[in-house]
Structure 1
C-alpha cells in the first residue's frame, strides 16, 4: 500500500516548518545587526581606553620621577604583558611625535607607520578601532590601543552560524518528530487497514486491525473489524463475544507488517545515537587533556587507544549481543545496553585519568553494540522480507540524523558548559532512550521464531575464499571506516583545536559530513539500482576519499577544511549504499551455505577493524609527520586500497559468477 498522500503531507509540513524557520533566522540576523552593532563598537573603544589608561598611569609615574618619555626602557615589555592578558586587543603602541617608541602586537598595524594616519572615527588602516591616550611629559606622546574593527562583525557572524546550525538541527528534529507522530498515528494504522482488507479480499477473514483510537482512523478500523465479523457470520454475536474477538485481533494482526513500532523505535535510536554524537567534536581533545606519559609509547598512540578500544569492543560485542538477544529477547539486550552506555558516558565525564576513561569508554562500546544489534533484530522480527529493506532504511535514518545533529549541538553545548557536563547530558539521553524502549519493545522472546546461528571462526575462511567478498570488505568497507575514524573522529578535531578553532566551529565542520551523506545517499542508491553496476561507485568513492584526505592535509584555511569534509561525505555516500548490494550479489553461495545473517555479521565485524586500526595508525603517522603528513599518509593508504580493490575485481571478471544469481532474491 503506497501512502503517497501521507508522504506528500509529511514533506509539505516539513517544507512549511523549514520555510518559517528560515524566515525566523533572517529576521533574527537582521535584528542582531541593527540592535547590537551600535552598542558593541563603542564598548570595544571603551575597553581599549581602559587597557590604555592602566599603561599610561605607569608611564606617567615614571615621567613624574623625572624620566623622559622617549628615553624610557622596558616599555616594550610592559606593552607585551598588557597584550598577553587582553587577547582581544591587537596592538599597543607608544608614539612620541611621529615616531613609534614602543610597540607590541599585530605587525601590519606598525608597517609604514600607519598609526599616524588615523581617520576621523579613530580607525587605523580601516582594520582597527584605535583609542589614543595622551601621555604626560614635555614631549608630545600618545599611547595607541587597537582592537580589530571586524571583531563585532565576527561575533555577529558566529551568532548567525550558530543560528544556521540550529536551523538545520531543528529541521531534522522536525522530520524525526513528524515521522514519529504521523507514522504512529496515521501511516501505520492505515497500513494495517490496507493489509487487513487485502487479506480479506483473498478470503482470509480471521485478521483484525485491532485499532482502538477515538479518531477517524480508529473508527474506520473498528468498522472494518465489524464488517469482517459479519462476513464470517458473527454479526449476531453477543457484545461480549464481539469484545472477545476484538481482544484477540491484535495477536492475529501481529502477522501483518506494521511500521508503527519501527517509527517509534527510530526515534528511540535517534535519541540514543545522539548521546554519543554529542561528544564527537571534542572526544579526542578530552582524551588529550587527560594524557599521562606511558613508557615506550608516544603521546599520539596513547591518545588513540580509547578510540581504538571503543571500536574494537563495538565490533566484537555485536555478534555476542546478537546471540544473547535471540535467546533473552530484544528488549532485555536493548535496556541492558542503554544502561551500560549511560554508565559509561557518566564515567567518561567523571574520569580523572586516562585509565578511568578507557574503562568507561569500553563499557559504552559494549552498550552501543548491544543497543544497535537488538534494535536491528527487532526490525527484522517485525517485518516480512517484502518490506524489510524499507524498514531497515527507516530505522537507520535515525542514526544518520543523529550524526548531523550531534556534532552541531555537542560543539555548542561543550563551549557553554564544558566537556564533562556534556558527557552527563549524553548519559541522560541514553537513559531516555532506555525508557522509550521499555514501553516499546516486546517483553518476551518469540518462542516460535527460528534461531539463527551465531558467527563461528571457520566462517571467516568460507567468506575470505571469495575474492569478491575480500574486495568489497577489505578494500572498500574497511578503508571507508578507517578514513572516517582516522580523519574525522581523530586527526581533524585535534588539528582544528590546536589551530584555535572553537568547539562550535568544529561541530559545524563535522556536521557537513553527515549532511552530505543524507543528501547524496538516496541519489546514489537510486543511480546504483537503476544502472545495476556497483563497482564504479565504489571506485569513484574510494578515489574521492583519498582526494579528501589530500585536501585536508593541505588545508591552511577553514574553507579548505570544509571542502575536504564535504568531499569525504560525498565519497562515503558513493561507497556505503552500493557495498551491501554488491555483497549480496557476490556472496550468493556463501549466503546459502552460512545464512544471510552470518555473512552480514562477518562483513560488519571485519568492517569495524578499519575503525580499530585507524587511531593507532593515524597516531603513528602523527607522531612522525605531524597533522599534514598524517593526513597525507591516510590518503596514500586509501588510494592503495582502491587500486587493490580494482585489481581484485578485475581478476574475477568484474561481475558475479555466471552460475550464481545476479540479484538478491529477497
Structure 2
C-alpha cells in the first residue's frame, strides 16, 4: 500500500507543497513567539517598576525625616502588602550588601550573586532553545529610567536605588517570577504547535479536495465516457470542466465521439455528468466546524446566563437546560429535515440550514438573557440539523448501492475533521478574543458554507431505482416493537450519545475549567478525541468488517470507551483525564463504524418492508433523544456529586450497558 502511494504521481507534488508550507509555518511561528516574548517581558517589568516606585516614594518620605534605613519599623508587613497586591515573588531592601528587610520566601536565594551568575537567563532559555538555530537574538533585559533589570535564579529582578538627601543609601529589589513568562510562552508554543498541525492537515484536505474536484473528478468522467465508447455506446459526451489542459483533453474526446457518431449516422447526444461527492466532505467540514468551534467553552458560557434564568436554576442547571433544549430541537429536526429534503432538494435545504445556523450563531454572540440564548442556540442547532440531512440526502440521491458507503465515508470524514479542528481552534480564539468573537467566527464559517453549496452541491439527479427509501413517522411502529432493534438502540446507541454529549461536551470543559486550565488547553485536551477518532477510524472499520464482526465491535467499543472515566475522581491528574478522553474517542470510533451495519443485519426484515431510510432514521432519532437528555442529567449529577464523580457515573453507566448488550445480543454474535 505504501509503495503504491509513493508511485502515485500526486505524492511527490503533495510532498513538495507540504514541505514548503511547513518551512513557512515554522518561520512564522518563530516570529510570533519572538514578538510575544518581546511584548510580554517588558510589560511585566513595567509592572514591577510601577510597584517599586510606589514603595520607594513611601520609604524615601520616611528617610527624609532622617530616620536611618535600618531602623524603619514595620517594613516586613509593609512590603508583604505590596508584594501580594502586585503579584510579585519577593521585595527586598539591601544596603551595604546585606538584606535589611524582605518579603517572599526566595528573596535571599534569588539575590545571591553567585547563584545569579551561575544560572544565567534561567528558565526562559528552555523556551527559546528549540528555535535558537534560526532565530534572531532574544529581547534583552535592560532598564527603565533609573531602574535596573536583570535575570536572577527563577526571577526577573528589578532594582531601584533608595535615596536620602540625594545620596543612595540602599537598593529596593522586586522579583517577578519568570514562571509567569514561561507559562505564557508555553501557552504560545502550544497554540503555535496546534495551529501548525491543523494548518498542515487543512492544507492536505484542501489540496486533495482541489485535485479531486478539478482533476481526478473530470478525468474520471472522461474514463467513464471512454469505457462507454469501448463498449460501443456513443450516446454521451464528456462534460467540459476543470483546468485548461483537462478541458482540452475533454474537448478532443468529444470531437472524436462526434466524428464516430457522424460516421454511423447518429446526431443526438447528451452530457455525462457524474456527481462529484467530494464537495459534500468540504461542506460537512464547514457546517460542523461552525458549531463545534464553541464546544470547549459552551457549558461555561451558558452557565453565565443563570442571573436571568428562572430562580430554581443554578449555573450548572442553566447550562444543562439550554444544551438539552437545543439537542431536543436537533432530534426533532431529523425527521422534519427528512421530509423537507424530498420536497425542496438537498442544495436548497443546505442553503436554508446555513442561513438559519448563521443567524443563530451570530445572535449568540450578543445574547444578553436566558430566553435570548436558549432561542438562538435552538435556532443554530436547527440549522445544523437541516445541513446534516441535506448532505446525507445528497449522497443518497447521487449514489447507488455499489458506491453509497464510499459517499457516506466522505461525509463522515468531513465531520470527523471538523470535530478535530473545531475544539482546538475554538479554544484558542476564545482564550485570546473572547466567547463572542468565537461565535462570530462560527457564523462566518457557516455563511461561507451557505455560499459554497451553490458551487459544490449540484442540482438533484436522483438515480432511478437506486434511491434509499425516506424516513416516515408512520413507519416507526414496526421498529419500536422489534426487540433486537430496541436492545441495540437502548443499550448501544443511546449510551454512546449520552456519554459523548454528557462527558465531552458538558462535564469535561467544566471539570477542566475547575482545574484552572485555560480555554486553549481545554480545547487541546478535547481535540485528543478527534485526533484518535480520525487516526483509528479506517483501521477499525476494516477490523469490524473482517475480524471482529459488527456486534462484537459495538460491545468492545462500549467497553473501551467507558471504564477509564471511572478513574477520574480517584486520580485527579490531567494525564488521567486526557487518557480517558483518548479511550472515549477510540471506543466511540469503533461504535460509529459498526452500529449502522449491525442494525442493518438484525433488522434485515424491516429493511425490506419499511425501507433502509426508515430504519436508520428511527435509529438516528433515538440517538438524538439520548443526546437531548444528557446535558440535563450531567448538570444534575454535577450539582449533586461534583464534576469528577459525575464523569465516573457516566463511566459506570457505559460499562453496565455494554455488559447487558453483550448478554442480550449473543444470538447476533453467533450469526
Normalised by the length of structure 2, the TM-score is: 0.84
Deviation at 1:600, TM superposition (A): 0.7
Aligned to 1:332: 348
Residues 1:487 and 1:36: Cα distance change in structure 2 (over 3 Å): closer
Distance 1:71 1:11, change over 3 A: same
**Correspondent of 2:296 among 268, 275, 281:** 281
Residue 156 of structure 2 corresponds to residue 129 of structure 1: yes
SS in 1 for 2:368: coil
Within the candidate set 412, 423, 429, 2:439 is matched to: 423
Structure 1 residue matching 2:116: 3-state secondary structure: coil
Alignment pair present for 1:459 and 2:488: no
What is the CA distance between 1:408 and its match in structure 2?
Answer: 2.0
Give the match for residue 109 of structure 1: 106
Q: Cα offset for 1:45?
A: 5.2
What corresponds to 2:270 in structure 1?
A: 249
Distance 1:390 1:128, change over 3 A: same
Cα deviations by residue, 1:12-67 (Å, 9 ceiling, x for unpaired) = 44444444444445555666778886997677556434422322322333454577
How far apart are the structure 1 equivalents of 2:219 and 2:81? 72
Q: Is the 8 A contact 1:314 1:369 kept in 2?
A: yes
What corresponds to 2:645 in structure 1?
629
Equivalent residue number for residue 356 of structure 1? 372
Q: Deviations over 1:601-632 (max 9, x none)?
A: 11111112222122111111110111222212
- Cα separation, partners in 2 of 1:642 and 1:90, compared to 1, 3 Å: farther
From the superposition, tell whether residues 169 and 647 of structure 1 become closer, same or farther in structure 2 (CA, over 3 Å).
Answer: same
- Which residues in structure 2 correspond to 1:233-312 (within 5 Å)? 233-234=262-263, 245=268, 249-250=270-271, 253-254=272-273, 257-258=274-275, 260=276, 262-292=277-307, 293-312=309-328
Measured in 1, the distance between the counterparts of 2:45 and 2:306 equals 41
- With over 3 angstroms needed to count, the CA separation of the structure-2 counterparts of 1:340 and 1:27, relative to structure 1, is closer
- Could you tell me how far apart the structure 1 residues matched to 2:5 and 2:115 are? 64
2:552 corresponds, among 515, 536, 556, to 536
8 Å CA contact 1:14–1:171 kept in 2: the answer is: no
- The structural deviation recorded for 1:73 is 4.4
Taking structure 1 as reference, are residues 461 and 75 closer, same or farther at Cα in structure 2, changes over 3 Å only?
farther
* Structure 1 residues 74 and 322, CA gap change in structure 2 (3 angstroms): farther
Match of 2:89 in 1: 90
Residue 230 of structure 1: CA displacement?
4.2
Deviates more, 1:315-324 or 1:215-224: 215-224
String of CA shifts for 1:298-356, please: whole Å, max 9, x gaps.
33111111211221111211111111110222222111111110111111111001210
Instruction: Please state whether the residue corresponding to 2:174 is helix, strand or coil.
Output: strand
Partner residue of 1:647?
663
Contact 2:306–2:318, Cα closer than 8 Å, also in 1 = yes
- Whole-angstrom distance in 2 between the partners of 1:177 and 1:518: 16
Per the TM alignment, residue 463 of structure 1 is displaced from its structure 2 partner at its CA by: 4.4
Work out the CA distance in 2 between the residues paired with 1:595 and 1:44: 67
Alignment match of 1:582 (pick from 584, 587, 598): 598
Which residue is 1:599 aligned to?
Answer: 615
Give the equivalent residue in structure 1 for 2:335.
319
Deviations 1:83-114 (A, max 9, x none): 33x44x3344568997886636xxx637xx64
Distance in 1, Cα, partners of 2:456 & 2:34: 49
Q: For the residues of structure 2 that align with 1:415 and 1:38, how far apart are their CA atoms?
A: 20
CA contact (8 A) 1:463 1:590 kept: no
- 2:427 maps to what in 1? 411
Tell me, yes or no, if the aligned pair for 1:471 and 1:648 is still in contact at 8 Å: yes
Deviation at 1:393, TM superposition (A): 0.8
Structure 1 pair 472/12, CA: closer, same or farther in 2 (3 Å)? farther
* Structure 2 CA distance for partners of 1:14 and 1:81, relative to 1, 3 Å: farther
The answer to whether the Cα contact below 8 Å between 1:172 and 1:405 also exists between their aligned partners in 2 is no
String of CA shifts for 1:453-486, please: whole Å, max 9, x gaps.
433256255245232x334322222222222211
Distance apart, 1:397 and its partner CA: 1.6
What SS does the corresponding residue of 1:208 show, helix, strand or coil? strand
The gaps in structure 2 that reach 5 residues or longer are: 120-150
Q: Hey, what does 1:189 align to over in structure 2?
A: 218
Partner Cα distance (2:505, 2:385) in 1: 18
How far, CA to CA, are the matches of 1:43 and 1:361 in structure 2? 39
CA distance in 2, matches of 1:653, 1:600: 18
Distance 1:462 1:264, change over 3 A: closer
Q: Secondary structure, in 3 states, of the residue corresponding to 2:233?
A: coil
CA distance in 1 between partners of 2:423 and 2:472 (Å): 34
Q: State the match for 2:235 in structure 1.
A: 206
Residues 647-666 of structure 1 aligned to structure 2 (within 5 Å): 647-650=663-666, 652=667, 654-656=669-671
Q: 1:6 to 1:608 in 2, by over 3 A?
A: farther
> What are the residue-to-residue correspondences of 1:554-593 with 2, within 5 Å?
554=570, 556-593=572-609
Map of 2:51 onto structure 1: 51
1:215 correspondence with 2:244: yes
Alignment correspondent of 2:517: 501
Q: Whole-Å Cα distance in 1 between the matches of residues 401 and 475 of structure 2?
A: 28
Given that 1:114 and 1:125 are in contact with CA atoms closer than 8 Å, whether structure 2 keeps it comes out as no
Note the residue ranges of structure 1 that are not aligned, 5 or more in a row: 657-666
The question of whether the paired residues in 1 share the 8 Å contact of 2:110 and 2:153 is answered with no
1:348/1:360 contact within 8 Å kept: yes
Q: 1:637 to 1:17 in 2, by over 3 A?
A: farther
Structure 1 residue 70 displacement after superposition: 6.2
Structure 2 CA distance for partners of 1:11 and 1:509, relative to 1, 3 Å: farther
Distance 1:643 1:131 in 2: 63
Contact 1:411 1:504 in 2 (8 A): yes
Aligned equivalents of 2:315, 2:525: Cα separation in 1: 25
Contact persistence 1:55–1:79 (CA under 8 A): no
On the 8 A contact 1:212/1:222 being kept in 2, the answer is: no
Match of 1:661 in 2: none
> Alpha-carbon deviation of 1:595?
0.6
Cα separation, 1, equivalents of 2:563 and 2:100: 49
Q: Distance in 1 between matches of 2:34 and 2:361?
A: 42
Q: Post-superposition shift, 1:284?
A: 1.6
- Higher mean alpha-carbon deviation, 358-367 vs 263-272, is at 263-272
Aligned partners of 2:305 and 2:315 also within 8 Å: no
Verify the 8 A CA contact 2:559 2:655 in the aligned structure 1.
yes
Change (3 A) 1:614 1:204: same
Q: Distance in 1 between matches of 2:35 and 2:631?
A: 47
CA distance in 2, matches of 1:234, 1:338: 50
Larger displacement relative to structure 2 (618-627 or 285-294): 285-294
SS at match of 1:167: helix
How far did 1:360 drift? 0.3
| CA deviation after TM superposition for structure 1 residue 500, in Å | 3.0
d(CA) in 1 for partners of 2:265, 2:13: 44
